[in-house]
Structures are given as C-alpha cells and as structure tokens.
Structure 1
C-alpha cells in the first residue's frame, strides 16, 4: 500500500506527479492548511514538522520531497540515473536546487497570499525575495536554452523542479524567461502531470501575477 498525504497546490504535487509517471497505485489522503489537522498527533506521527508531502510506503512513512523522490526512483529503478552514473550528480543537484527555489517561493507566498493584514508584510523583504527568485530563474533560463529537460531525458528532477514553474511566473514576468516558460508548459502538458492534476490538483493563487507593492 502506498498512501500520499497531500494538499492541492502544495509541494506534495511533485510526489503525486511522480507516482503517476511511475505508474504506481496509491491512495491519496487530503489535508487542509487551515483546519488544524496537520497539527494533530495522527499527522505529526507521520510528518514530525506537520508538513506535506509525506508518503507511507513499504511499512514506514517518509517525509521531505527530495527524500521521497530519491527513494521512489531507487526503489523502482526508473526516472533517475543510478548511483555511480556520470549524470547522477547532475540529477541530485537539480533535485535539491528545486527545493532551494521552492523555499524562496514559499517566502513570497507568505507575504503575497497568506499574511494578513497586508500592513504586516515587509516590502523590503518582498523585493529581496523577488530578486533572489530571479537569480534562480536566470540560472534555469541559461541551462534550459536549447534543452527539453534538465538532464538529457525526462527524470524525477523534472517533477521536482517542473512543479515550481507556475509559481515562479506568479512573481516574475513570463516574457523575461522564454526557455523556462516553454519548459514549464512542456512539463504541465505531460499526461502523467494531467492525471495528477485531475487526482489532486489545485492552486494556492487567486491572481495570475503578484507585483511587489510600492512602499
């Protein structure tokens, strides 16, 4: 039995997408950010920090997106270079780069989407995190120019990073990063991504774009 603990629009979408790419059967357990359930003893026994994703598999629970992705690809022997392969380090770099970028996105989400009242927001921090996000986007733009995927073939690193792209363009102008935009569209057009969206998709965003307000 495989059970994924999931919130629509959250980073657990990466694991849901990967499960679909791998063709594995799974059960989806949905949680809410707002009802307090993720602070329950039941959930904390699965994910000690009270966060998704968490995956119950092989008689245990695993949390953290990158750890789950590495575990699933090694377990299944697919969608990742094997340990010792020449491009294994590249795979691991992009898996963890995705989380670096996601943490910046999370900071922007807090300011733009979740923090109330709006007067509690820090505009200098919003500007700083937008610039930090742009640094990651420029790195990806350079890497993806002339490429279809992060490695020379689709891999689970694309599930990790491809999930970020919609959120990136909620805060940065899409037109400034054409290769990254095209990459994101390719990822979201994959049949497995669309199945994951149907099974547990959703968005945290109410707007197409969030500009940093004037001070």
Structure 2
C-alpha cells in the first residue's frame, strides 16, 4: 500500500508527479494548506507538520529527496533513478537535491506574497533578493542544459521531476524567459501526461495568480 498525503502546489507535488511517472497504484489524501497539518494524527506521519508524508511498506516517510531515492530504488525498471555504481549516480543526486535550493527561495517568496496578508508586513527588499536568487538557480540549470534535453545525458529521470516541479513553483515569482535552454527543457517535461496529472484543480490552487511581481520600493 502506498498512500501520499498531499497539498496542492507544495513540495508534495514532486512526489505525486513521480508516482504518476512510476505508474504504480497509490492512494492520494489531499489536505488543505493550513492548520490541519498540525493535528496530532498528522504529526505522527510527518513531525514537521508539512507535506509530503508517504505511507509505504508499513511505515511512513517524509522529505521529498529521501522519498524520491527510495521510490526509484523500489521500482528500478522505470530508469527514473540512478543506482549506486551507475556513472550518472553522482549527478543524479546533485540535481535531485538542487530542487530544494530552488524551493527554499520560492518558500520565502510564498511567505512574502501569500502568507503575509498585510502590506506593511511584507518586505520588497526580501522579495527582490529572493527573486534574484531564483535567477541564479535558473542560470545554474541553463548551464547544465547546454547541449542536453534533460539534466542527465542518459535521459529523463527523477532529477528532471524534482527540479521541474521546483521551477513550476518558482515561475510564480521569477520568469524563465531569459533562459532559453531552461524554457525548452521546462516545456518538454511539463508536456508529459504524468506532470499534467499532478496539477491542482484551478479552484484549489495555493497561488490564485499566475505571477507575482516584485513591488516597487518607495523612496523616502
């Protein structure tokens, strides 16, 4: 039995996309983004009160990179992972983990734009810095994707899922237009049926808007 605890437009989307690519049976439990994740029942699944939580093999996992590694090892025939000894193993680990670098900046911007309701609580300086840091992440992906269709020479993998989902989220705050290789790669991976299956219904999105620009800073 595989049961994924998920909230729309959060890191758990990464695991949902991966499960769809793996083509395995699973149960999806969708939680609203909010205080119910702090309930005692849920904290027994994920003590940080976040998603994902993946019930599997009579236990429970959290942290998307760990879940990604475990699922890819559990279903090796899908070729979405790179096993120990594979020459691409090192790069696979790097790019699966790089998704979290992208996501931490997106999380800061989500707090600024979404979680803080009053304008005086928000910081245009923080927004500008974090959006610029996302640009640095895009530049790293752009460099990696020169001459490649995917992040690894061996083809599409969970590294593309991890970073692709992170970019899906980050594009709400920093555009990828200046990075043609990233744009082409992103279009390629998000055209996959498994990605489309992981998308939230429009009326259940965490981000009501497609893009949140950095507000102008007031002088004086």
TMscore range, shorter length:
over 0.9
Relative distance call for 1:114 and 1:53 in structure 2 (3 A) is: same
Q: Secondary structure at the match of 1:194?
A: helix
Of 111-120 and 46-55, more deviation after overlay is shown by 111-120
1:93 is the counterpart of 2:94: yes
Is the partner of 1:61 in helix, strand or coil?
A: strand
Compared CA separation, residues 125 and 199, structure 1 to 2 (3 A): closer
How high is the TM-score relative to the length of structure 1? Answer: 0.93
Q: Please report the RMSD computed on the Cα atoms of aligned residues, expressed in angstroms.
A: 1.8
**Matches of 2:28 and 2:178, distance apart in 1:** 37
SS of residue matched to 1:84? coil
For 1:45 and 1:81, how far apart are their aligned partners in 2?
31
Distance (whole Å) between structure 2 residues aligned to residue 119 and residue 94 of structure 1? 37
Task: Give, in angstroms, the shift of residue 168 of structure 1.
Answer: 2.6
Q: Distance in 2 between matches of 1:116 and 1:97?
A: 30
- The Cα of 1:90 is off from its aligned counterpart by 0.1
> Does the aligned pair in 1 maintain the 2:82–2:89 contact within 8 Å?
yes
Superposed, 1:82-161 pairs within 5 Å as: 82-152=83-153, 153-161=155-163
* Maintained 8 Å contact 1:107/1:129: yes
Partner of 2:58: 59
Counterpart of 1:142 in 2: which secondary structure? helix
In structure 2, the residue matched to 1:8 is 8
Report if the CA contact (8 A) 1:9-1:202 is conserved.
no
TM-score (norm 2): 0.91
- 1:96 and 1:195 map into 2 onto residues whose CA distance is 23
Contact 1:12/1:53, CA 8 A, preserved across alignment: yes
Aligned residues, how many? 214
Structure 2 residue ranges without an equivalent (≥5): none
**How far off its partner does 1:82 sit?**
0.8
Residue 170 of structure 1: how far off its partner (Å): 2.1
Are residues 208 and 196 of structure 1, via their aligned partners in 2, closer, same or farther at CA, if it must alter by over 3 Å?
closer
